[in-house]
Structure 1
Amino acid sequence: MDKKKISLVSLGHLSCDINGGALPAVLPFLRTHYGLSYQATGGLMFAYSCLSSIIQPLFGLMADRLSKPWLIPLGVFLAGIGLTAVGFMSSYWAIFAAIGISGVGAALFHPEGARFANKVSGESKGTGMSIFSIGGNTGFVVGPLLATFFLTMFGMPGMVIFGLLGTVMASILLLLIMRMVAPEAAAAAQRTAQAAYGQPKNVEKAHSANAADSTGKSGEDAVLQNNWREFSKLTGAIITRSVLFIGFNTFIPLYWVSGFGQSKAAGAVALTVFCTFGVLSNILGGVLADKYGFRAIVRLAFALVTPVVLAFSLMPNLYAAYAMLPLLGFVLYVPFSSLVVLGQTYLAKNIGFASGVTLGLATSLGGVFAPVLGWVADNHGLPRTFQCLALVALVGTIFAFTLRKDEEGKKAGKTA
């Protein structure tokens, strides 16, 4: 595993997802400022999530055909600029569009970032993908705190911090990534020039092997095969986890404010507690997956998620709800890297597309259901919304327990 490169792309992941992490903490401010309903507030989450989740697999297909590392810094830049624009818009639909641009930035970043992480992780793909995911998870931890601080201090213009951070980080990433890929590009150009003038067959074979190593495409691709049946079941599990993740990410701050009468800052703190334990659980999940198997970790998490979500909805007071946040973080984050690696295993020929689906759905598609959850909250209260999420979790458990064993999936990817 190339620790330098995996750390770099993890930093990019943090810079991208700090915007998606900040959005739920921004929603209470927007709701108060514009007098929005829960359903309209959920619609803003839909703007970010829908564009990100739908477009992301398309960018994944592009990454499979022709790697474009510069999409990593471009995605970071758009994600930050889009969120900054929210602070300077005067209408609901303008805010909706600005949040959508931020979602497009996330869609650009994730497939290429995950493909890059898979390539440099070597044999330790569970650990490598966990390190990559830690960046995004940390963004979801830092984002709410950053948004709350700057919105409290400066009002809506305080959103400019995200554009500044995105621009600075995108510039750094562009310079470093281009420096990393320059030697590979030069070597490829040299091989092309040598081939044009002719050379011994054994040298051509050696160069061909080197080219395959540097691009990740080789003769092995001819024997790799996609397992769409298992990937479809995995996608079902990922969609349910996505609905749960976005549901709690969106409504935990609102629950603290409207359900327990706490301040917006307290709501951001609750979200940070949830995400912090999630980051720690993600690290643990990657290490355990390398030891016990990706499928085992997914099954463990989904076996626990329904009772934990149901218990959270029944908590009688603020302190009991706080006590449940670490458990929620554990069950929702511990399978994250395993889900991504399983997707890359089942679609061995299209790792970029698999990453676009798993990362796009895992972090975004749940937002498509946010307006529905908002309608439930408007008409029946937030506790009932969380109980609906418990039913969603049960569906995910069914999908998780029908997945093939890790070894079978890997074998299908290598030999089928």
Structure 2
Amino acid sequence: MALPMPPRMITLFPRIAMNYRKILLLSLGHLSCDLNSHALPALLPYLAAAHGFDYQTCGFLAFAYSAVASLVQPGLGLLADRIARGWFIPLGILMAATGIGATGFLSNEYAMFLSLVVGGIGAAVFHPEAARYANIVSGDRKGVGLSIFSVGGNGGMLMGPVIVMLAVGGVPMGDFTLGGFGLHGTAAFCLLGLVMASLLFWRVSAWDMAARTPKVLSGSAGASNEWGSFGILSGCLLTRMGLTVAFTTYLPLYWQGVFHASAATGNLMLVLFSVFGVASNLTGGAAADRWGFRRIIRWASFLSLPILAVFPLVTSPWLAGLLLAPLAIALFAPFSSMVVLGQRYLSKNMGFASGITLGVAVSVGGMFAPVLGWAADAWGGLAPAMHLLTPLAVIGAVCACFLREPKNA
């Protein structure tokens, strides 16, 4: 006869455990969705060369996907809060993949624009519902679970351009070229999206989340939305995304312009920074489960201040390279904590919260990158312009100090 589990063991092994198989599958779905948006910048040069597009037209096409995906996401999140459906996840992946995949078979920029709008809507359909499912299947380890989920998006950032290079451009290998099917190679995105959407549609239907939708959660005693706290958290998130997007955008150019390194060296630094970021995302989620989400956000915010203040003053590329690791920790570690806190502050509208934290914040934060570029042109280089990142980090740290413990924790 099996002995009953001692009380101490029950504490160590809670009944609501994270389902690693499900969270990994959702992370893989996140990768297959986000690789489409990150493939577009790599695809634009091929479209421009084939159809004679100018920079304005390329920007017009990029706007179609990214802006629509980000701005529509909160509204679709609210819709998902009302009519939560698991099939939103595979539908979003399929639409996002079709939007990118069809561009290689179109010759008119307006048709491409409409196709990319469909892709952007697909990304907006995917993220709120997928983030909510990730929250549910993470059990009591939501920090780790949301970190694993967000790492899938980081993987999409790396995989998108690689697929374009292989399927569209090809990789010369002596007398042999690996891949390289021209613009019709974008069909690879449709194929990948169809496979992943089919797998997720089959699996998500079997999970039977109907009994744990937000409608049930919102009906629980004491559940309410804390809009004031969510506003303060949005300040933390927007400044964090502004710092991350601006720094990663100009990191290769910084190594070239300030340290007079080659383009390959600059790109290597970006890859190293991204690797540090992915690792920090995972460890930050685990640390948040142990020490608390607010504490991780505050520690990361204050860690970024001295690093960003010193970085533009460093004249050695070796020392600057060493600073990339702690800076990646400061910028990437608190991300999953912010997503989880947002879902807890708006426990009755987790889809809307996910739409803001995973969609709008990325785009609004990304608006700081052109500001940094303007400052670099006006002030004579990226080194003096990088000083603008310090006051932005100060704003984020101040907001972090005012974060409150969610009532629905």
What is the TM-score normalised by the length of structure 1? 0.77
Shift of 1:8: 1.0
Q: Report the Cα distance in structure 2 between the residues aligned to 1:140 and 1:221, rounded to whole angstroms.
A: 38
Alignment of 1:104-143 (within 5 A): 104-143=121-160
Deviation of 1:286 (Å): 0.7
Amino acid at match of 1:177: L
Residue correspondence of structure 1 range 281-320 to structure 2 within 5 A: 281-320=280-319
The structure-2 alpha-carbon separation of the partners of 1:299 and 1:28, relative to structure 1 and needing over 3 Å to count, comes to farther
Q: How far apart are the structure 2 equivalents of 1:264 and 1:324?
A: 20
Moved more, 374-383 or 120-129: 374-383
Matched-pair contact (CA < 8 Å) for 1:286–1:338? yes
Equivalent residue for 1:173?
196
**8 Å CA contact 1:28, 1:253 repeated in 2:** no
C-alpha distance in structure 2 between counterparts of 1:156 and 1:238, whole Å: 39
Relative to 1, partners in 2 of residues 1:286 and 1:216: Cα closer, same or farther, differing over 3 Å?
farther
In 2, distance between residues paired with 1:279 and 1:333?
Answer: 7
Q: CA deviation at 1:213?
A: 3.7
For residues 351-396 of structure 1, give each alpha carbon's deviation from its aligned partner in whole angstroms, at most 9, with x where no partner exists: 1111111111443322233333332233332223322122211111
Aligned to 1:387: 387
Q: CA offsets, 1:151-181, max 9 Å, x none?
A: 58489986766x4453233222322232234
Aligned-partner Cα distance in 2 for 1:76–1:267: 32
Partner of 2:22: 5
- Between 82-91 and 267-276, the greater mean CA deviation after superposition: 82-91
Cα deviation for residue 66 of structure 1 reads 1.2
Deviations 1:118-152 (A, max 9, x none): 12112221111111112112223444555667758
The residue aligned with 2:408 is 413
Tell me, yes or no, if the aligned pair for 2:68 and 2:120 is still in contact at 8 Å. Answer: yes
Partners of 1:317 and 1:84 lie apart in 2 by: 44
Does structure 2 conserve the Cα–Cα contact (< 8 Å) formed by 1:85 and 1:159? no
Cα pair distance change 1:219/1:250, threshold 3 Å: closer
| Deviation digits for residues 230-273 of structure 1 (CA, Å, limit 9, x no counterpart) | 10000011011111121123222333455555555444332221
**Alpha-carbon offset, residue 347 of structure 1:** 0.7
State how far apart, in whole Å, the 1-side matches of 2:310 and 2:46 are.
28
**Which runs of 5 or more structure 2 residues have no equivalent in the other structure?**
1-17, 173-178
The structure in which a higher percent of residues are helix is 1
Give, in whole Å, the separation in 2 of the partners of 1:89 and 1:152. 20
* 1:328 aligned residue: 327
Q: 1:214 to 1:103 in 2, by over 3 A?
A: closer
Q: Distance in 2 between matches of 1:56 and 1:272?
A: 29
Q: Is residue 17 of structure 1 aligned with residue 12 of structure 2?
A: no
Q: What stretches of structure 1 of length at least 5 have no aligned partner?
A: 186-209
Which has the larger displacement, 47-56 or 284-293? 47-56
Secondary structure class of the residue paired with 2:223: coil
CA distance in 1, matches of 2:62, 2:211: 41
User: Are 1:49 and 1:366, in contact at CA under 8 Å, matched by a contact in 2?
Assistant: no
Q: Alignment partner of 1:413: what SS?
A: coil
Give the Å deviation of 1:46.
6.3
Q: Which amino acid aligns with 1:360?
A: G
Aligned residues: 382
Q: Distance in 2 between matches of 1:265 and 1:88?
A: 32
Structure 1 residue 316 displacement after superposition: 2.1
8 Å Cα contact 2:87-2:205 kept in structure 1? no
Q: TM-score, normalised by structure 2?
A: 0.78
Contact persistence 2:37–2:66 (CA under 8 A): no
CA 1:325–1:284: 2 relative to 1, 3 Å: same
Counterpart of 2:73 in structure 1 is 56
Q: Which moved more, 1:346-355 or 1:385-394?
A: 385-394
Cα distance in 1 between the residues matched to 2:218 and 2:297: 32
Distance in 2 of aligned mates of 1:28 and 1:267 = 21
CA shift at 1:295, angstroms?
0.3
Mapping for residues 220-259 of structure 1, pairs under 5 Å: 220-221=219-220, 223-259=222-258
Q: Tell me: CA distance 1:153–1:218, structure 2 relative to 1, closer, same or farther (3 Å).
A: closer
Letter in structure 1 aligned against 2:248: N
Specify whether residues 371 and 348 from structure 1 end up closer, same or farther in structure 2 by C-alpha distance, changes over 3 A only: same
Quote the residue 1:402 is aligned against. 402
* Residues 213/30 of structure 1: CA separation in 2 closer, same or farther (3 Å cut): closer
For 2:329, the aligned partner's letter is: F
CA contact (8 A) 1:46 1:369 kept: no
Query: Secondary structure in 1 aligned to 2:299?
Result: helix
Cα 1:178/1:392, change in 2 over 3 Å: same
Contact 2:27 2:153 in 1 (8 A): yes
SS of equivalent to 1:399: helix
CA deviations on 1:10-60 (whole Å, 9 max, x unpaired) are: 0011122234445677799999998969xx999987665433332111111
Are residues 390 and 227 of structure 1, via their aligned partners in 2, closer, same or farther at CA, if it must alter by over 3 Å? Answer: same
| Greater shift in the superposed pair: 84-93 or 250-259 | 84-93
Match of 1:193 in 2: none
Identity in percent? 44
Report if aligned partners of 2:93, 2:197 keep a CA contact under 8 Å in 1. no
> Structure 1 residues 129-138 or 248-257, which shifts more?
248-257
Mapped partners of 1:263, 1:48: distance in 2: 32
SS in 2 for 1:217: helix
Measured on the aligned residues, the alpha-carbon RMSD in Å equals 3.8
More relative contact order, 1 or 2 (CA 8 Å, 6+ apart)? 1
CA distance in 1, matches of 2:205, 2:103: 37
| CA–CA separation in structure 2 for the residues paired with 1:254 and 1:27 | 20
Bigger mean CA deviation after superposition, 84-93 or 334-343: 84-93
